Amino acid sequence: MDDMARGDGNASFYKGRRVLITGGLGFIGSNLATHLVALGAEVLLIDCLNPHYGGNRFNVAPIRHAVHINISDVRDTSSMQYLVQDQEVIFNLAGQVSHIDSMRDPYTDLEINCRSQLSILEACRHHNPSVKVVFAGTRQIYGKPHSLPVTEDHLVRPIDVNGINKAAGEYYHLVYNNVFGIRSCSLRLTNVYGPRQLMKHNRQGFIGWFIRLAVEDREIQLFGDGSQLRDFVYVDDVVDAFLRAGASDACNGEVFNVGGTGPVSLGELATLLVEVAGTGRVRFVEWPPERKAIDIGDCYADSSKFERATGWSRAVGLREGLTRTVAYYRDHLSHYVEPPADAGTDTP
């Protein structure tokens, strides 16, 4: 609760409130659940525990006694029609997040990130129209930025299947807010990192994989010269953003960037990570063609719209966040890894 006690009214809003989290055993979902339990909410977690995704029972081990868990797939329409009933807030985090997997298997990405989102909203429309829904969007929908920092007014022009389907999922939420009155909003997340992140493989984002390599004293390979710029936001700050969005009707029908404080090159990130960990090393390598084809170049977000709407601010800087994250995995790495497999990394 340390970083959550910021005078934001979350404690009074969520105490005793029924909250559902799709993807609740995953990275952001489990951190969100941990904070909601501390705030006194009644929490229901839905997760399919697909071994290729981020769901992990260990993520909620400290709060297992305080939450309800339903092992369901958001693609199961009948289950969702039942599970949304009587919930007051839904944090809709379930998704397929690998850009590479979306290009290799576009139909699965379509089912999870597009069709399932429509099914969830239809379930709300018919069985719980008063619920508030906060959707986990992504900066990937912007594609290659034409101006920086990226604001919410930037054109939506994704360059891979994942970005297309995430954009569609987001727009469904906005339409259901505007047409059917299902109070919804979307948080377009940049590069989130922290404890409980998937690191079994390298296909769902690069920063978790980099952290694993550093903790295991292995080599971090950076494509090109490492000059690509990104912004990084610690998971507790993202949790705070979701809690604020869920509690504020001022966010309804809107999209918001939720990102870091400013641009950091991947070379700077990797160097700082190795410094913090005291292990690992960095090497620059040539771009694999399939990664280069979907690289977006520099990308970092302007989050001022969300800051103005909710009073949100980041409490954890990059060095502190990496320090906490490395410490967590040094204590719990065996719950997050399988035998190492060197296969590159998903496009940062």
CB atoms within 10 A of CB 319: 12
Predicted confidence band of residue 284 (pLDDT cuts 50, 70, 90): very high
Q: Is residue 35 part of a domain?
A: yes
Residue 5 pLDDT more than 50?
no
Q: Across residues 122-128, what is the average pLDDT? A: 97
Q: Is the pLDDT at 101 greater than 70, yes or no?
A: yes
* Segment 228-279, tens digit of pLDDT: 999 999 999 999 999 999 999 999 999 999 999 889 999 999 999 999 999 9
Here the CATH number for the domain that contains residue 142 is 3.40.50.720
Task: Grade residue 347 by pLDDT with cuts at 50, 70 and 90.
Answer: very low
Question: Using an 8 Å Cβ cutoff, are 126 and 58 in contact?
Answer: no
Mean pLDDT, residues 303-332 taken together: 97
What span, in angstroms and rounded, lies between the C-alpha atoms of 157 and 136? 18
Other CB atoms closer than 10 Å to residue 339's CB: what's the count?
Answer: 5
Rounded mean pLDDT of 309-327?
Answer: 97
Q: Say yes or no to pLDDT of 148 above 90.
A: yes
Q: What's the predicted TM-score (pTM) here?
A: 0.92
Strand segments (E) across the chain: 18-22, 42-47, 67-71, 89-92, 132-138, 184-189, 191-193, 219-223, 229-230, 232-234, 255-258, 264-265, 281-285
What confidence score (pLDDT) does residue 340 get?
Answer: 44
Which structure tokens are listed for 297?
């170049």
Overall average pLDDT of the 103-132 stretch: 92
Classify residue 147 by its DSSP letter. Answer: S
Task: Report the DSSP pairing between strands 264-265 and 229-230.
Answer: antiparallel
Q: Tell me if 145 is assigned to some domain.
A: yes
Q: What is the mean pLDDT of residues 197-203?
A: 82
**Residue 33 in domain:** yes
The pLDDT assigned to 9 comes to 62
**Angle at CA of residue 238, ends 267 and 14, nearest 5°:** 170
Percentage of residues in the chain having pLDDT higher than 90:
76
* Domain hosting residue 171, numbered range: 2-193+233-258
User: Does residue 266 lie within any of the structural domains?
Assistant: no
Evaluate whether 134 touches 287 at the Cβ level (below 8 Å). Answer: no
From residue 261, give the alpha-carbon distance in Å to each of 46, 144, 157, 190, 270.
Answer: 32, 20, 24, 11, 17
pLDDT at 341: 42
Mean pLDDT, the chain, rounded, equals 91
Whether residue 13 lies inside any domain: the answer is yes
pLDDT at 204: 65
Per-residue pLDDT of 254-268, as tens digits, reads 999 999 988 999 999
Residue 309: Cβ within 10 Å count: 16
> Residue 100 has what pLDDT?
76
- The answer to the question of residue 297 being in a domain is no
The number of domains in the chain is 1
* Residue 220 is assigned to a structural domain of this protein: no
Lowest mean pLDDT: which of 24-28, 55-59, 202-206, 325-329? 202-206
Is the pLDDT confidence value at 21 over 70? Answer: yes
